[in-house]
Amino acid sequence: MRLSNIWQLFLAETDSVSVRTKIMGIVLGTILLLGVGMTWEVRENMVDTLSRQLEKRGISIARDVSARATDLILTNNSYALYELLRDTVENNEDVRYVIVLDQNGNVLVNTLGQAVPQDLIAANTAAPQDRYKLEILDTEEGLIRDIAVPVFEGRAGVVRVGMSDAGMRRSVTSATERLLAATALASLLGIIAAFLLTSILTKPVRELVEASRAVAQGDLARKARIWARDEVGQLGEAFNSMTTALAISKRDIDEFNKQLVRRNEELSALWAELSEKEELRSQLLVKVMSAQEEERKRIARELHDETSQSLTSLIVGLKVLEQCDPAEVGAVAAELRAQASKTLDAVHDLALELRPSTLDDLGLVAALDRHVREYARRHDCEVDFQATGIEGVRLPSQTELAMYRIIQEALTNTAKYAEARTVSVTLERRASTVVAIVEDDGRGFDVKALLESRSTEGKLGLFGMQERAALIGGRLTIESEPGAGTTVFVEAPLELERSIA
**Helix 78-91, helix 19-74: angle, nearest 10:** 170
**pLDDT above 70 coverage of the chain, percent:** 67
* Domain end among 187, 220, 248: 248
Domain match, 235 and 212 both:
yes
Q: What is the largest CA-CA distance in the chain?
A: 136
Q: Is residue 4 part of a domain?
A: no
Domain match, 212 and 346 both:
no
pLDDT above 60: residue 138: yes
Q: How far is CA 319 from CA 313, 328, 344, 345, in A?
A: 10, 14, 15, 18
Q: Is residue 97 part of a domain?
A: yes
Q: Is residue 255 part of a domain?
A: no
Span 456-483, average pLDDT: 79
Contact 437, 479 (CB under 8 A): no
Task: Give the tens place of pLDDT for each residue, 88-97.
Answer: 888 888 888 8
Task: Give the tens place of pLDDT for each residue, 279-334.
Answer: 656 655 665 566 567 656 666 666 665 566 666 666 666 666 666 656 556 666 66
Task: Give the tens place of pLDDT for each residue, 226-241.
Answer: 666 666 666 666 766 7
76 phi, psi to nearest 5 deg: 55, 40
Evaluated on CA atoms 199, 30, 172, 143, the torsion sign reads positive
Which pLDDT value is given to residue 38?
85
pLDDT above 60: residue 345: yes
Alpha carbon distance 38, 490 (integer Å)? 73
Bigger pLDDT: 404 or 211?
A: 404
Of the listed ranges 75-89, 268-282, 371-385, the least confidently predicted one is 268-282
* Domain end among 220, 248, 276: 248
pLDDT band for position 247 (50/70/90)? very low
Domain match, 323 and 372 both:
no
Q: How far is CA 57 from CA 60, 79, 101, 162, in A?
A: 5, 25, 21, 11
Which pLDDT value is given to residue 2?
56
Q: Is residue 386 part of a domain?
A: yes
Q: Which of 427, 410, 407 is nearest to 494 (CA)?
A: 427
Of the listed ranges 276-290, 338-352, 423-437, the least confidently predicted one is 276-290
pLDDT band for position 65 (50/70/90)? confident
Which pLDDT value is given to residue 107?
84
**pLDDT above 90 coverage of the chain, percent:** 0
Torsion of CA 255, 261, 263, 269, to 10 degrees: -150
Domain match, 136 and 239 both:
yes
Which pLDDT value is given to residue 228?
63
Which pLDDT value is given to residue 472?
84
**By CB neighbour count within 10 A (0-12 exposed, 13-18 middle, 19+ buried), where does 403 fall?**
buried
Range among 77-81, 253-257, 353-357 with highest mean pLDDT value: 77-81
Q: Is residue 1 part of a domain?
A: no
Domain match, 21 and 166 both:
yes
pLDDT above 80: residue 19: no
Which pLDDT value is given to residue 321?
61
Domain match, 274 and 392 both:
no
Q: Is residue 179 part of a domain?
A: yes
- Average per-residue pLDDT for the chain: 76
pLDDT above 70: residue 484: yes
Q: Is residue 324 part of a domain?
A: yes
pLDDT above 50: residue 250: no
What own/partner pairs with CB < 8 Å and gap ≥ 24 does 102-111 have? Answer: 102/73, 102/156, 102/157, 103/154, 103/155, 103/156, 103/157, 103/158, 105/158, 108/73, 108/78, 108/81, 108/157, 109/78, 109/81, 109/82, 109/85, 110/85, 111/85, 111/86
Alpha carbon distance 153, 73 (integer Å)? 13
pLDDT above 60: residue 14: no
Which pLDDT value is given to residue 230?
65
* Domain end among 323, 355, 387: 355
Alpha helices (runs of H) in 149-249, residue ranges in sequence order: 166-216, 231-245
**331: three-class secondary structure by DSSP:** helix
Span 417-425, average pLDDT: 85
- In CATH, what number is assigned to the domain containing residue 475? 3.30.565.10
Q: Give me the domain span that covers residue 84.
A: 16-248
Which pLDDT value is given to residue 500?
40
Domain count, the chain: 3
Which pLDDT value is given to residue 23?
76
Span 54-69, average pLDDT: 87
Domain match, 101 and 161 both:
yes
Domain match, 271 and 347 both:
yes
Alpha carbon distance 477, 213 (integer Å)? 53
Alpha carbon distance 225, 232 (integer Å)? 10
Q: Is residue 74 part of a domain?
A: yes
Span 179-186, average pLDDT: 84
